[in-house]
């Protein structure tokens, strides 16, 4: 069942449902292919490699910064996009300054770009570094972006990462559950989190159950993280879905840090796990 947020106007409900069904392929799950590392990690991957993967039938939607979508989107008309509206590089270390990532574009900018180029824009995304001394700035922008997205029938995806000098362990399960809870309070439809670190008493999938409960009807997506052995990565993902109860994943490096043939095989396998 699709949860229609109360801030989606009556005349935009059909569009919101269309966008939700597009990324979930008619299920309650979502495989988000992420290319925002082009800015966030200054990744040297060829944009055409990213967009070729994103245009495959296995992907729910492709998350990329709006500028990258503007440069390449018209060449790949079959892609569904989540336009990332804020971003920063990792060049300034946390020891020097708590992270802050302000909006680079607005929801209106994303809509105008998509309409001009006839692109399939399904939603927008924004990262919040919860625990940063600048969190209030990011929370305010995130709240407004979620609301503006809904006003226009778009999905809102929040990347929610505890980070800053105040954070002792950004993989603490209780902290990540709290971060997912915060995303729900912002009105997000999906929240992207890092999988929590296992403890002596609880496995990562068991901790994810707590995260999912805290998120309420905001759907939880687990980040893929650094590239791993494919077999181990897929086994982890399966356990997160089947035991942890998450609603999908947001994967970048474990797909695109392969040649195209292997990347498409990985995308197909992940798609099968998520959408089955």
Paired tokens of 158: 């929040």
Annotated active-site residue in 20, 126, 161, 240: 161
Separation CA 29–CA 62 (nearest Å): 15
Chain-centroid distance of CA 62 in Å reads 9
* Cα separation of the two ends of the chain: 16
**Whether residue 126 lies in the annotated active site:** no
How far is the CA of 26 from the CAs of 1, 4, 29, 77, in angstroms?
10, 15, 8, 21
Give the Cα-Cα-Cα angle 126, 164, 130 (nearest 5 degrees). Answer: 40
Beta bridge partners of 86: 103
Of 38, 84, 192, 219, which is the active-site residue?
Answer: 192
Please work out, in degrees rounded to the nearest 5, the angle formed at the alpha carbon of residue 186 by the alpha carbons of 185 and 187. Answer: 90
Structure tokens belonging to residue 270: 């992940």
Environment class of residue 12 by beta-carbon count within 10 Å: exposed (0-12), middle (13-18) or buried (19+)?
A: middle
Q: What angle do CA 27, 30, 32 make, to 5 degrees?
A: 155
The sign of the CA dihedral 138, 139, 140, 143 is positive
Instruction: Assess whether 84 carries a catalytic annotation.
Output: no
Nearby residues of 74 by Cβ (< 8 Å), 6 or more positions away: 117, 119
Residues with catalytic function: 161, 192
């Amino acid at each position: 069942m699709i949860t229609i947020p109360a801030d989606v106007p009556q005349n935009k409900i059909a569009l919101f449902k269309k966008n939700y069904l597009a990324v979930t392929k008619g299920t309650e799950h979502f495989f988000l292919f992420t290319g925002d590392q082009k800015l966030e990690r200054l990744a040297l991957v060829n944009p055409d490699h990213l967009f070729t993967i994103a245009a495959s039938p296995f992907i729910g939607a492709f998350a990329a910064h709006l500028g990258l979508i503007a440069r390449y989107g018209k060449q790949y008309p079959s892609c569904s996009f989540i336009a990332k509206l804020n971003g920063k590089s990792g060049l300034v270390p946390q020891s020097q300054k708590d992270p802050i990532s302000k909006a680079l574009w607005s929801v209106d900018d994303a809509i105008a770009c998509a309409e001009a180029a006839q692109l399939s824009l399904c939603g927008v995304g924004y990262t919040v570094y919860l625990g940063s001394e600048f969190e209030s700035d990011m929370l305010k922008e995130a709240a407004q972006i979620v609301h503006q997205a809904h006003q226009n029938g778009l999905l809102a995806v929040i990347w929610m990462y505890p980070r800053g000098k105040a954070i002792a362990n950004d993989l603490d399960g209780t902290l990540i559950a709290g971060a997912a809870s915060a995303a729900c309070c912002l009105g997000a439809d999906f929240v992207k989190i890092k999988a929590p670190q296992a403890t002596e008493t609880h496995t990562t999938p068991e901790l994810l159950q707590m995260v999912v409960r805290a998120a309420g009807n905001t759907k939880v997506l687990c980040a893929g993280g650094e590239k791993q052995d494919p077999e181990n990565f897929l086994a982890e993902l399966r356990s997160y879905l089947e035991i942890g109860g998450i609603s999908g994943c947001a994967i970048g490096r474990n797909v695109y840090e392969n040649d195209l043939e292997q990347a498409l095989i990985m995308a197909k396998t992940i798609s099968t796990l998520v959408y089955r």
